[in-house]
């Protein structure tokens, strides 16, 4: 399973997004099967699944304007990152979720975006820049 995830990352970095989505999808399928059987408890496995959900949303769903799929996958990523204590990753995925909601034409929770931005800035996470850009775009 780890090989699928690593190879998906390589494909993503070289611009082979459709191939990456397929590999991330395999990781998600394995995770969902293991979850259904009650054996998906290793933090590294949960983290890989979270990244896979997030990547599929970013590389395909948002690109294609499939907002409901993007929202569902990004919510799953936030929940999984939170489960394994990856607060910065959860915050960044939630920023992506808010971007998807905004692009779909629905209102976003500007107060929550400000909180996420502050958290990422406090942690010194470089992804805070994207959160700050969204805050500025919303004029808050």
Give the domain CATH number at 6.
1.25.40.10
CA 74 to chain centre: 5
| Domain membership of residue 44 as a residue range | 2-138
Residue-wise pLDDT for 76-92, tens only, equals 999 999 999 999 999 99
More confident residue, 38 or 66: 66
pLDDT in tens, 51-108: 999 999 999 999 999 999 999 999 999 999 999 999 999 999 999 999 899 889 999 8
User: How many structural domains are present in the chain?
Assistant: 1
**What is the mean pLDDT of the segment spanning 130-140?**
78
CA distance 83 to 95: 18
Alpha-carbon span 32 to 34, nearest angstrom: 5
Over residues 2-31, the pLDDT tens digits come to 588 789 989 999 999 999 999 999 999 999
Residue 78: CB partners within 8 Å, gap ≥ 6? Answer: 90, 93, 94, 97
Residue 99 buriedness (CB in 10 A; 0-12 / 13-18 / 19+): buried
pLDDT band at 130 (very low <50, low <70, confident <90, very high): confident
Amino acid 50: pLDDT:
97
Q: Taking Cα atoms as reference points, which of 54, 57, 34 lies closest to residue 104? A: 57
């Amino acid at each position: 399973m780890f090989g699928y995830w690593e190879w998906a990352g390589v494909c993503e970095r070289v611009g082979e997004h459709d191939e990456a989505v397929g590999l991330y999808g395999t990781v998600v399928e394995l995770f969902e099967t293991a979850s259904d059987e009650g054996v998906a408890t290793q933090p590294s496995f949960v983290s890989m699944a979270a990244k896979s959900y997030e990547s599929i949303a970013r590389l395909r769903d948002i690109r294609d304007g499939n907002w409901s799929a993007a929202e569902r996958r990004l919510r799953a990523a936030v929940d999984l990152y939170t489960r394994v204590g990856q607060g910065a990753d959860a915050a960044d995925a939630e920023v992506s979720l808010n971007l998807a909601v905004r692009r779909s034409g629905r209102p976003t929770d500007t107060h929550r975006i400000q909180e996420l931005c502050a958290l990422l800035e406090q942690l010194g996470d470089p992804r805070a820049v994207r959160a700050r850009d969204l805050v500025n775009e919303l004029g808050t």
